[in-house]
Amino acid sequence: MEKKDKERRPHDKFFKQTFSRKEVILSFLKARLPEEIFNQIDQDNLLLTNREFVSVTGKSRSSDCIFKALIKGTQHYIYLHVEHQSEEDPLMLVRFLEYNAQLIRQHISEHGNTSLPAIVNICLYNGNKPYKGPTNFHDLFPHLKQVERYMFQGFHLVDLHVTTNEELLNWQQAAGAAMVLKQGIHRDFCEWLPTHQDILLNLEKKGYIPYISNVLWYMLSIDDHINAVELLDPKLRKIAMSLAERFRQEGEQRGRQEGEKKGRQEGIQIGEEKGKLEVAKSMLLKGYPIEDIIFLTGLSRSQIQGLL
């Protein structure tokens, strides 16, 4: 164990032993939380519900103290997540964000996704110098003043289902891919191609062959209508046919690999069966009862009798 881990362990242990007590955590929350938040906690059903979180690298880490309670007068939950730190962590906010995401997933798994819980994150710090690390997400993005608008006000939805093709044409190079994706959900390009392949031809004219290959590969992958290729302009059909040939070759290779794998498995099975028969034959010559041979080899009575 590293020296720093040894130094932190007594602090962490003492923190968990004391602050996991209901009367202690309630006194702490009353003293430190804004009154409007503390007053919403249904103290009667406040429960310690520590969790184990797995990082993106697969490392497991237990939370320090997580309490769960109902919000007064509702069936909605609030979590009070208190982490102890004896050292400054410049990415403490990121840790809380990772924990919160996993906590919400666990909550949904347990309670369903009727409503998401509120989460209050608290860091109790007992370092040997004042904590000067960021406590607000805005401080982590000094070069992006509009971070609240871009990152913490929901996500920007682009719904192809309600976006018209006229709007998509304004997307320039992205227009072709977007239109194909929009149509792709129907898995049928036979009616779509005659009126839209001009977009692809324009890309071909500009030399965007890899882009067109990606588009055609997607179309061929999801559309089972053989007429789709026949509807293409000759220039596009040539690209599509080369892709089709590649599909065929890849399919043959996969078939060979699967056949070889199956052959190896069958060979092993045949070898094992042959080995059992040899053992059974030897046991018969030595006078072993058939019942013993059946028990030891797993062969059927008829298989053994066939060796007599």
Please answer whether residues 217 and 243 qualify as being in contact, where contact means their C-beta atoms are separated by less than 8 angstroms: yes
How far is it, in rounded angstroms, from Cα 54 to Cα 58? 6
How distant is the alpha carbon of residue 71 from its chain centre?
A: 30
Cα separation, 38 vs 33, in Å, equals 6
Phi/psi of residue 72, nearest 5 degrees: -50, 130
Residue with tokens 């362990």: 9
Structure tokens at 28: 């702490």
Q: What is the pLDDT along the chain (308 residues), one digit of tens a residue?
A: 455 554 457 888 888 889 989 999 999 999 999 999 999 999 999 999 876 665 555 555 667 889 999 999 999 999 999 999 888 999 999 989 988 998 999 899 888 877 899 999 999 999 889 999 888 877 887 776 666 666 666 777 899 999 998 898 888 888 888 988 998 888 888 888 888 888 888 877 888 778 878 888 788 777 766 566 777 888 887 877 777 666 565 555 666 666 656 656 665 666 677 777 777 777 777 677 777 777 667 778 888 778 77
User: What pLDDT score was predicted for residue 108?
Assistant: 92
The count of other CB atoms within 10 Å of the CB of residue 228 is 18
Q: How many CB atoms lie within 10 A of CB 219?
A: 22
Instruction: Find out whether 59 and 103 touch, Cβ atoms under 8 Å.
Output: no
**Interatomic CA distance for residues 4 and 13, integer angstroms:** 14
- The position carrying tokens 């007429």 is 227
pLDDT at 44: 94
Query: For the chain, what percentages of helix, strand and coil (3-state, to nearest 5) are there?
Result: 55, 10, 30
User: How far apart are alpha carbons 141 and 148 in whole angstroms?
Assistant: 10
Do residues 25 and 31 touch, judged by C-beta distance below 8 A? Answer: no
Give yes or no for a contact between 80 and 69, defined as CB atoms under 8 angstroms apart. Answer: yes
| CA 102 – CA 204 distance, rounded (Å) | 45
- Residue 154 phi, psi (nearest 5): 85, -170
Here the tokens at position 297 are 């080899």
- Calculate the alpha carbon distances from 96 to 7, 55, 110, 263, 286 in Å: 23, 12, 21, 52, 72
The pairing of strands 77-85 and 118-125 is parallel
pLDDT at 13: 86
Specify which residues 71 forms β-bridges with: 41
Paired strand residues for 120: 80
**Torsional class of 73: left (φ above 0), alpha (ψ -120 to 50), beta (otherwise):** left
Contact 68, 50 (CB under 8 A): no
Tens digit of each residue's pLDDT (9 = 90 or more) over 154-198: 777 899 999 998 898 888 888 888 988 998 888 888 888 888 888
Please report, as a single letter, which amino acid is at residue 267.
G
